[in-house]
Structure 1
Amino acid sequence: MLTTARCVAKRSSLSLLKRFMCSPTNSVTSSISMPPEKPIIGTFEPIKKDIYERLFGVNGFEPVAVELFEVLDDKSIMVRLPFIQLLEYIEKTDFDRPANRYILWGRQGAGKTFTLNHLAYWGYLNGFCLVHLASPRDWLDEPAEIEVSESRPGRLDFPLNAALALRHFKNQNSLFLSKSELKVSQKYTWSLREITEQGEPLVNVIDHGISRMKHASDCYAVLLKELKIAANNNLCRLMVLANDVNLFYKKPLVKHADGRVASVEEMTLARAFMKMFKNDWKNGLFVGATYVNQSHWKNRLTPYYPKALLTDRGWEDFDPFIPIKVENYSDMEADSCLDYYTDKMLLQRPQSKTPEGREEIKAINARNPFEMYKFCSNL
């Protein structure tokens, strides 16, 4: 038995455990209705409550976005130009060729995460198998617990985070898994008595990782490996989505028991997920969104271009990729947003509903979606 090293993360693991235990089941409770064929920019597309819980109940949106949905008592996403651009690219994609890779980039608060999650919703409605990573920071900087891998000496496992990722995958793909017949391509031995035989349903690997957190990290790595094999064999159409993807190329905060800083190659989850960055698979696409922290005045001049954020290594890993810039709201989108806030009674002061007041709101916040919400929530 290898020595087990555990550490207490900055953020308590209780919140992760609560999300894991209270996440929705994988039952299918409603039929899927396709969205309009040609979404109109500036309109809001509502997400049914049961579908929202299935897609984003475990993970997906940042706390401020969850707060927005709760305050407005509505779960709708604005149709924006980057989303339309992605749909146009997907429509013209030859899925028999290596997977196309797209990088969403732009200023902080411009809506990269919302665009990514909007695509996840669209992919769900259109039968894609989703692999969705909402925040690699939970793996690279603040894992709930750390254990030395028993199957791969020298690597670090994050059991609770891995089990949460498996639950997130199972919830998002509940309908897909109920209809597909994906099977494992080889035999996997987890312990002397726990084995997944070749030809067993892939969902058995997922269930084993959820019930046996000790093996959850290895199960997640096997899941990604088998999904690539299935996509190459035309058994599924895969959509891989990664928020804050450039964090994989910064120095992690996770350390070994002896105090050494761990590299991403030494983390089972990160190592497995980064293999999805390659285009050695077909029948799918990869979409990543960059993260830039410009909230503090000292960071206002932080570069937000893909080259600066991905670093040379990330640039090489994704080359070639299709960059899609997520801008602040256009004037029309900002007006649509303010109309929405007015309808949902987020704007209370009479002055905020006048033409002059609306123009002042847009000017003060430079039509940045996040800044507009923060400003309007105090009106």
Structure 2
Amino acid sequence: MIKSGLFKSLLRRNKLVYFSQQAPSFRTDENDPLKHTLNHVGQYYRVPPKERKVYLYGGLPKSYEIQSKTFNETCLMVRKPSIDIINCLKEIDYTKPAVRFVLFGKPGSGKSLTMAHVLHYAHNAGFLLVHVPWVGNWMRKPKELSNSETREGFFDLNIDAAAWLVHFKSQNERLLSTPELKTTQEHVWSKRESTPKGATLLELIDHGINRLKYASECVIALAEELKELSKTGHCKTLVAIDGFNAFFYPRTRVFKEKKEVVPPNKITLTEAFLNLTKFDWNNAAIVVTVDQIALYEEDQKSYFPRYLLGKEGFEHLDPFVPVFVDVYTPKELKSCMDYYRERKWIRYFPQQDEELGSLSANNPFKLMQLCTSL
């Protein structure tokens, strides 16, 4: 027989071994966003390498992308706003008009990463993704500007449009190969060039990529086709646009030859994505963010949707479901610090979490900046 003292000692030792084999409390072993629930809030999950291509051409903030390469893994924290949207996407009636969700909050609170989590879910759930990583890039530093050949007074950003088509093609590579996704009408580009009715969407996309002068028009045509295909049940679409309020701010850094400012409503790409964010179609959902840093002006007084969208933008989206992205909760802050310590990014010292939380005001981006290398 084993003596009681020895038995208790072995039991304690086995418990220590057992607990040491468990995943850390700040991580979850559930890496499939389809299975994430409120029980996973405040925990990190690893994006599998095969599914990392969702963010190949955009979707993660540049600073977070650099951090992920440094840590040699892409991990996202499960947060309540993303779980709320995911639960809604599971339950809404897709026969009804498209539901619009608007993510808002202070700069650096995690709106883009919340959208990244929703994108990962939608990709695994079989949605066709229509994702704009950051509208501000088009309105602040376009790669090229040209007069539209089909719309008088409008301007094309054809290089940016072609780059977006590459992004769209990469995110939806598997779905675009299905034979059901075909054009519902003929698209004439010139006297000699056209995309016939019944052509695959890949042909339409490749035409915009290979024939740069038609890239912006191809994006507009693709938007119309996606709406029709969704209405007829050939696909289920998620539209995700980061920095959506930049479509409604009159001051841009897009200039004509005489340094005259081109407003967003005169840029052809704007027409395509405003068309996709209307509620006149079904079998779709729309998630957008509004952000103070999406605008050219830096002295923004409020982060609320009504202020950032203005009257025109607010009326365009109304009615919508507002989703507030707050700063880290105490649990989320501790998880973030534990993750940094696990990756040997920071060294531990007493009262570390409280001090860094106070300095950053629990803001995720500010906390990341405080912990970055010198």
TM range (shorter): 0.7 to 0.9
**In 1, distance between residues paired with 2:265 and 2:246?**
14
C-alpha spacing 1:35/1:114, structure 2 compared with 1 (3 Å): closer
TM-score with structure 2 setting the length:
0.87
Residue 35 of structure 2 aligns with an amino acid whose one-letter code is: E
Please state if 1:340 is matched with 2:335. Answer: no
**In 2, distance between residues paired with 1:108 and 1:99?**
27
Residue 367 of structure 1 aligns with an amino acid whose one-letter code is: N
Residue 363 of structure 2 aligns with an amino acid whose one-letter code is: N
Residue 44 of structure 1 aligns with an amino acid whose one-letter code is: Y
Deviations 1:321-357 (A, max 9, x none): 0000000010001111111111111113x42xx3x12
Residue 146 of structure 1 is matched in structure 2 by 145
Deviations 1:273-317 (A, max 9, x none): 1111210010011111111149xxx84x72111111111111111
Give the Å deviation of 1:147.
1.0
The alignment partner of 1:179 has SS state of: coil
**In 2, distance between residues paired with 1:179 and 1:268?**
29
**In 2, distance between residues paired with 1:266 and 1:309?**
20
Matches within 5 A, 1:128-143: 128-143=127-142
Deviations 1:69-121 (A, max 9, x none): 11211101000000111012112200000000000000010000000111111
**In 1, distance between residues paired with 2:305 and 2:235?**
30
Task: Compare 145-154 and 319-328 and name the one that shifted more.
Answer: 145-154
Does the aligned pair in 1 maintain the 2:143–2:159 contact within 8 Å?
yes
**In 1, distance between residues paired with 2:309 and 2:140?**
17
Give the Å deviation of 1:34.
4.4
Give the Å deviation of 1:272.
1.3
Does the aligned pair in 2 maintain the 1:217–1:269 contact within 8 Å?
yes
Matches within 5 A, 1:162-241: 162-241=161-240
Find the partner of 1:364 among 350, 359, 362. 359
Task: Compare 150-159 and 124-133 and name the one that shifted more.
Answer: 150-159
**In 1, distance between residues paired with 2:318 and 2:256?**
32
Task: Compare 122-131 and 62-71 and name the one that shifted more.
Answer: 62-71
Residue 35 of structure 2 is matched in structure 1 by 37
Residue 73 of structure 2 aligns with an amino acid whose one-letter code is: D
C-alpha spacing 1:116/1:38, structure 2 compared with 1 (3 Å): closer
C-alpha spacing 1:199/1:141, structure 2 compared with 1 (3 Å): same
Query: Structure 1: 5+ residue runs without aligned partners?
Result: 1-32
The alignment partner of 2:314 has SS state of: helix
Percent identity (aligned): 32
C-alpha spacing 1:215/1:193, structure 2 compared with 1 (3 Å): same
Does the aligned pair in 2 maintain the 1:231–1:281 contact within 8 Å?
yes
Give the Å deviation of 1:148.
0.9
Residue 374 of structure 1 is matched in structure 2 by 369
Residue 278 of structure 2 is matched in structure 1 by 278
Please, what is the CA RMSD of the aligned residues? 1.7
Please state if 1:326 is matched with 2:321. Answer: no
Residue 21 of structure 1 is matched in structure 2 by none
Residue 267 of structure 1 is matched in structure 2 by 267
**Runs of 4 or more above 4 Å deviation:** none
Please state if 1:310 is matched with 2:309. Answer: yes
**In 1, distance between residues paired with 2:35 and 2:287?**
21
Give the Å deviation of 1:256.
2.7
**In 2, distance between residues paired with 1:215 and 1:347?**
50
Total equivalences in the alignment: 338
Of structures 1 and 2, the larger Rg is shown by: 2
Residue 287 of structure 1 is matched in structure 2 by 287
**In 2, distance between residues paired with 1:237 and 1:247?**
26
Give the Å deviation of 1:378.
4.0
Query: Structure 2: 5+ residue runs without aligned partners?
Result: 1-30
Residue 159 of structure 2 aligns with an amino acid whose one-letter code is: L
Residue 226 of structure 2 aligns with an amino acid whose one-letter code is: L
